[in-house]
Amino acid sequence: MATINISLDERPEGVVATVVLDRPEKLNAMSSPMVEQLRVAAADLRSRENLRCVIITGVNDKAFCAGSDLKELSELTSGSAGGFLRKTHDTLQAIRDIPVPVIARIQGPCMGVGMEIAAACDFRLAATGSLYAMPKVKIGLPSVIEAALVARIVGSGRASWLMMTGDNISAQKAYEWGFLEDVADDTAGLDDAVQSAVKGILESGRQAIFAQKRLIRSWAEQPLAKSIEDSIRPFASAHATNEPGELSSKVLGRLGNPG
């Protein structure tokens, strides 16, 4: 049965949630029920007060997500296609709206809406055997909605290649193109990379992470001068909390300079 599973790792610093796409017989291809379950999961996590980090991955490490359910795509009409896309967009937007860092942990195929899910995350860590594609043109459809995020990450020319040829690229190529932040040799290395990222997040100020995520997103959507100006207030606001003093003391203490 296709489903979205969530596990919560309660740590002293807060909760690390893992969201698992679970449809192994179809390489985690997203059916409409899965899309809705993922939206609900993202919305529920967004409202969790002690959440610190979210990891999205595929079950059994056989695939991240091989795309949308092809049978459903083939049955869409000009009247139903718009609603199908809007529901998918709502889910991807819900992932982007999670206020804490969201990490895509990728093994196996990451294609179509799978690449869009990964693009909706804050960064992407992968195993070397993973594959990437935006293949909808192969079935007579353009890549749409959050495919625009993929284009912003890799650039116009590379997005054109992906979305106009529909061909696969390797993890190494996806890394070289800027879609991936790191590529590990195997599952153990991938898990180490993910946990290293989680450790860095948990060692950082919770409110500072919230502010940083909002800033990074706004920087991608507005001119440079406004991005710089808009970053001044969150920096000043951080000093109204106890995070800078507490964390600075910890850092100085580790450096052997408690003063």
- AA letter at 248: S
Q: 120 and 169 share a domain?
A: yes
Which has the minimum average pLDDT: 8-17, 110-119, 163-172, 246-255? 246-255
**Tokens 């799978």, located at residue:** 114
**Tokens 């284009």, located at residue:** 151
Per DSSP, 21 falls in state E
Q: 56 and 131 share a domain?
A: yes
Q: 95 and 79 share a domain?
A: yes
Q: 97 and 223 share a domain?
A: no
Q: 194 and 232 share a domain?
A: no
Q: 235 and 194 share a domain?
A: no
- Is the pLDDT reported for residue 259 higher than 60? no
Last residue of a domain, one of 184, 202, 220: 202
- 259 assigned to some structural domain: no
88's CB contacts (< 8 A; 6+ apart) are 30, 35, 68, 113, 145
More confident residue, 150 or 230: 150
Longest dimension (CA), the chain: 68
pLDDT tens digits for range 205-239: 999 999 999 999 999 889 999 999 989 888 888 78
Strands 102-106 and 51-58: parallel
DSSP state string for 48-100: -TTEEEEEEEEGGGT-SB--B-HHHHHH--TTTHHHHHHHHHHHHHHHHT-SS
Strands (E), the chain: 3-11, 14-22, 51-58, 102-106, 109-111, 123-127, 131-133, 169-170, 182-184
Instruction: Report how many domains make up the chain.
Output: 2
Q: 189 and 211 share a domain?
A: no
Distances (CA, A) of 8 to 12, 48, 249: 13, 11, 30
**3 state SS of 117:** helix
Q: 220 and 107 share a domain?
A: no
CATH number at residue 66: 3.90.226.10
- 139 assigned to some structural domain: yes
Q: 175 and 242 share a domain?
A: no
pLDDT tens digits for range 83-131: 999 999 999 999 999 999 999 999 999 999 999 999 999 999 999 999 9
Does residue 215 contact residue 234 with C-beta atoms inside 8 Å?
A: yes
- 75 assigned to some structural domain: yes
Cα(29)–Cα(63) distance, integer angstroms: 9
Q: 139 and 233 share a domain?
A: no
Domain limits for position 186: 3-202
Tokens of 1: 């049965």
